[in-house]
Structure 1
Amino acid sequence: MSLFQSSAWQKSWWEVWGNTPGFRLVAPGENRRCGIYLDEYRWRNVVPIRCLQFVGTNYRRISTPRTEYNDLTSFYDALEPGRELTDLPWNEAVFRDIINTTSEINRLQRLCLERGWLLRIVHQDTAYQIATDITFDEYLSSLGPNTRLRLFNRRKVLETVGPIELENFWPSKAERFFQRLNELHVVRWGEPCFEQRSLDFHLRFLSRIVEEGGRPELSVLFCDKSAISFLYNVVYEGRVYNIQAGYIEGFHRKLALGTLHLGYCIEAACSDPELNSFDLLAGDGKNENYKKRLANCEAPMVSLMVVRGRLLKLLYRLKH
């Protein structure tokens, strides 16, 4: 199970966004699985949509932090006799960021054939991971020369600017950490990475994940006593999840600060016998897919839509 199926993530997400008009919880997250809810609305104010979705995700209506590594177990469980899911008037189900395994997809295909449902692929993506059950030197030797330069070798350049320190801002400086991360994100992307509801969610989640054995690591890289790079990491069940990053643009023309900061965190993970993976998650960088260059493992993910209503099946078939 991943960080995203933890009670801390699931419960915090529903507390913050579960009161959205049209949302109704159908199957709460149990036994460390994703919950399922029904989202009822009218698409373009005309077509009635009653969409089943994982708690932590939403298709079309709202934007929230991404919930990855989902699986369909909770959906199949909710279809069992005595559960209300089969009798609900849903006309589509969207399952985002499912781990793309042949057995998982084949089972859903068979179910759709048996029941006359339409199955569509709406998105495909890849999550990038670094296996840390090797030494950091072994990991570095597996990288290309340019990647190794950016991740590790140019530490010497940074050290000429001033003394290097790393500090975890959790818990006492958490709000300051997210404020600075937002400011850096505005400079790079033109908007903050966490609006108020998202910030509320993350602070709730981080407080709760500690109760489940997790460890927030709001890592700040200092050079000459100035905070120059920020990494939002969480350690959970043997894995470090890198959720967000921000750094000072143009600090030094020879340095990729974000990559250098990742290098320090990856080295620490390789040195910790209780950790087996550093997870960069899905998504690309602004100018390049730096995650692919750093990773030594990949996890394909797929987002699927199941269409049950006659009108919607007709509309989607006409569309394609």
Structure 2
Amino acid sequence: MSLFQTKAWQSAWWETWGSQKGFRLVRPWDGQVSGLYESKYRLKGVLPVRSFQFVGTSYRELRTPRTEYNQFCDDNLSGQLLLRGMEEILQGQPWTEAVFNDLRTGSEELSALVTIAATHNWAFRITASDNGYAVSTTGRFDEYIAALGANSRLRLYNRRKILESLGSIYEENLWPSRVDDFFQHLNRFHLARWKKNCVTPTSLEFHKKFLSRVEEEGGRPLLSALYCDGNVVSVLYNVWYQGVVYNIQAGFDEHFHVKLSLGSLHLGYAIENAFNAVNTHRFDMLAGQGKHEDYKSRFATDRYQFISIMLVKSVMFRALYWMRG
């Protein structure tokens, strides 16, 4: 399991968005696996559809923080027991489409879905794929830095000298005393770079619920703010859980200095902190790319892939989806 299957993440998501019209919780979360729910909507405003999905995801209706590493069953379940368990879940609900986002490529659960779909003659479609990246922090930070390419080493570490010559540079965890300030900075940087908000009143409610609850499950919020002469110039939304630091989101002042990749430098400080923490073995940058390049691939030691799939029962809907591509 991952941070996204914690009771903290799942319960905060459902409490924030689960009251949408047509949403019904089918299977609650248990702190090990993702919850499941049904959403009802009308395709093209006409045809009624029942969509079966993981709690934390919404294929057509909502834009919410991304929930990754989704899974149906406990890690200890495998083989025929896993196959039968998943088949019982899928056969027990009267869905039109089942959309399961961000399953690990190569996982036994993904293979089981292929087998189940073929057995019942359900359509199986891949709706999306995305690469994820992580850094193993079990070794030494200096060895990790030395193994990077020259340009990556420059962006992540070597240009610290320039940054630290520009003023007093320090980091601060804004959890729990300055949470609102942190998300205001994150949204400000995101708005300047992407021309859209990443934090809304609704999503802020979700984040605050999640962060306050994850501590009860042993998690540690790391709302890292990087300062230059007392001004916040970069933020990293990180959470430590079971030996892994999850980098959920980041924002920085892209006009701070022409020679500096400020977001990369801040990431370098966070990765170094993970190497120095005795109870941390991984810094997970998760899926997604940067605005101009796939920067995470430059810094990663480990790469993985998520696949999102759709199952469709009805022959009519299979034909409709096929025509839509």
Q: TM-score of the superposition, structure 1-length normalised?
A: 0.95
Instruction: Select 2:210's aligned residue among 183, 205, 210.
Output: 205
- Quick one: distance in 2 between partners of 1:318 and 1:130? 42
Q: 2:58 — aligned with what? A: 58
Native 8 Å contact 1:238 1:277 kept in 2? yes
Aligned to 1:249: 254
RMSD after superposition: 1.5
Alignment partner of 1:152 out of 150, 154, 157 = 157
Pairing partner for 2:200 from 172, 177, 195: 195
Find the partner of 2:105 among 96, 100, 104.
100
Amino acid at match of 1:34: S
In structure 1, C-alpha distance between the alignment counterparts of 2:214 and 2:25, rounded to whole Å: 22
- Alignment-derived partner of residue 182 in structure 2: 177
Q: The residue matched to 1:42 in structure 2 has which SS?
A: strand
Cα distance 1:307–1:111, how it changes in 2: closer, same or farther (>3 A)?
Answer: same
What corresponds to 1:164 in structure 2?
169
Aligned partners of 1:28 and 1:35 also within 8 Å: yes
1:124 to 125, 129, 133: 129
Question: Bigger CA drift: 230-239 or 30-39?
Answer: 30-39
Whole-angstrom CA distance in 1 between matches of 2:310 and 2:124: 6
Report the alpha carbon displacement of residue 271 of structure 1 after superposing the two structures with TM. 0.8
TM-superposed CA distance for 1:105, in Å, is 2.8
Q: 2:229 aligns with which of 202, 224, 230?
A: 224
Could you tell me which of 271, 278, 282 is aligned with 2:283?
278
Work out the CA distance in 2 between the residues paired with 1:251 and 1:29.
43
Partners in 2 of 1:209 and 1:308 — Cα distance?
37
Does the aligned pair in 2 maintain the 1:90–1:309 contact within 8 Å?
no
Classify 1:230/1:319 alpha carbon distance in 2 versus 1 (closer, same or farther; 3 Å).
closer
Q: CA deviation at 1:71?
A: 2.0
For 1:298 and 1:78, the matched residues in 2 are separated by 27
Q: 1:239, 1:277 within 8 Å by CA — same for their partners in 2?
A: yes
**Where does residue 219 of structure 2 map in the other structure?**
214
Name the CA distance, whole Å, in 1 between partners of 2:151 and 2:284: 21
Pairs within 5 Å for 1:30-69: 30-69=30-69
What is the TM-score when the length of structure 2 is the normalising length? Answer: 0.94
Q: CA deviation at 1:79?
A: 4.3
| C-alpha distance in structure 1 between counterparts of 2:185 and 2:146, whole Å | 34
- The question of 1:236 aligning with 2:244 is answered no
Q: Is the 8 A contact 1:307 1:313 kept in 2?
A: yes
- Paired residue type of 1:152: Y
* Unpaired runs of at least 5, structure 1: none
Which amino acid in 1 is paired with 2:255? G
